[in-house]
Amino acid sequence: MEIWFLGTGAGRPSKERNVTSIALRLPEPDGGLWMFDAGEGTQHQMMRSSLKMGKLNALFITHLHGDHTFGIPGLLSTRSYSGGKGPLRLFGPVGIEEMVRTALRLSGTHIDYELLITEIKEDGVIHEDERFVVEAWSLDHRLPCYGYRLMERDCPGKLNTERLKELGVPAGPLYGKLKQGEDVQLPNGTTVCAADVAGAPLKGRIIAITGDTSPCANIARLAQNADLLVHEATFAEGQEEKAHEYGHSTTVEAAQAAKDAGVQQLIMTHFSSRFLLEDMPMLKEEAQRIFPQSEAAYDLFHAKIARRSDC
C-alpha cells in the first residue's frame, strides 16, 4: 500500500504547492486507487506521478471548500478517457451530490461509467468490502467536515510450503482453501488442518486522514492506534489562535494528536501559502519535538505504508 500527496497547500495553489489531494494505492491483487479530496489541478498532478486514472474507483471528500473540490468535474471527465469503465464511488458531506451532478449537467460533461454518490449524514461506518472497512468522523471546521479511518481486514498468514509438500498437498485450489483457514481432505483420505500449515493471520493496517480541523475529540477516535495519521498543519507553533479562528490546526497540535492516539507515523499536509519549501524543516522539527515519527509532505511526496508483518 502506498500513499501519494498530489497537493499539500491550503486555500489556494502557489508556485510550490497545489491544493489538497491525497491518493492511496491499494495492495494487489486489485491494486485500485482511492483518492481523498480533489482540489483544482488534481488531474494534472496525477499526470506527474505514476498513478493511473483508470485505476481510480473511490473518491472521498472531506468537505465542500473549493480547495478540496474544484478538481472533481475534470477528474471524473478524464476518467472516462483513461480506461476507467467500472463504477466509481464518491463519498462526502451533504451537498456533494448537488455540487458534482450540477457541474456535470451544466457543462454537458458525459461520463460513460456509473457514478455512485453517498452523502454522509452521521458518524460511523460508511463503506465495507472484502478488504476494508471505512469510517467517517465529523471534525471541527467552518463547514461540515469529515475525517476518514480506513481499517484493512486481517490478512491470512503465510503457508508453510515445505510442510505442504511433505504432506503431499498438490499446489492449486487446496492451497487457497488452507490459506483462508479451511481444513482440506486429500484424495487418499488424509485431512490436512489449516492450523498446522498456515501462520497466524497478519494484522491489517489502519490509515486515518483528517480533513481541515481544529483540535477536537473525534480526532482521537479517528486516529486511535493507526499505522499512519495524515493530519492538516496549516499553521506553525504559536499561531494557535489564528488557526482556530479559521478551523485549522498547527504543527504541534497535529503532533500532539498523533502522540495521544498512539499512532505509528504522522504525515502533515495542508500548509498555508505563507510557508515556502525552505520552511519545511522548521515545521517538521516543531512536530518532531513532540512526536519524533513526524514528516512534512510536499507535492508528489509518496511513501509505502508497511504492514507490521508482510503478507
* 65 assigned binding-site residue: yes
The pLDDT of residue 159 is 78
Say if CB 179 and CB 198 are below 8 A apart.
Answer: yes
- Is 3.40.50.620 the CATH classification of the domain at 2-154+207-304? no
| Residues 6+ away with beta carbon under 8 Å from 294 | 254, 255, 258, 266, 267, 268, 284, 287, 288
- The rounded Cα 270 to chain-centroid distance in angstroms is 15
The pLDDT of residue 311 is 47
Running along the chain, 311 residues long, what does each successive block of 10 average in pLDDT?
97 95 90 95 96 95 98 95 89 98 96 96 96 97 97 83 82 77 81 78 92 97 98 98 97 98 98 94 98 98 82 47
The pLDDT of residue 265 is 97
Question: What is the total residue count of the chain?
Answer: 311
* 302 assigned binding-site residue: no
| Residues 52, 28: Cα–Cα separation, whole Å | 15
| Residues 138, 144: Cα–Cα separation, whole Å | 7
* 310 assigned binding-site residue: no
| Residues 157, 172: Cα–Cα separation, whole Å | 17
Laid out side by side, the sheet with 206-209 consists of 124-128, 132-138, 146-152, 206-209, 228-232, 266-269, 294-296
- Alpha-carbon dihedral sign for residues 69, 75, 124, 248: negative
| Per-residue cell: 178 | 488452507
Global confidence as pTM: 0.88
Helix, strand, coil shares of the chain, percent, nearest 5, are 30, 30, 45
Say if CB 93 and CB 119 are below 8 A apart.
Answer: yes
The pLDDT of residue 186 is 83
The pLDDT of residue 309 is 58
The b-or-e profile of 267-299 (16+ CB within 10 A means b, else e) is bbbbbbbebeeeebeebbebbbebbebbbbbeb
Active site (catalytic) residues = 67
List the domain boundaries for the chain.
2-154+207-304, 161-197
* 63 assigned binding-site residue: yes
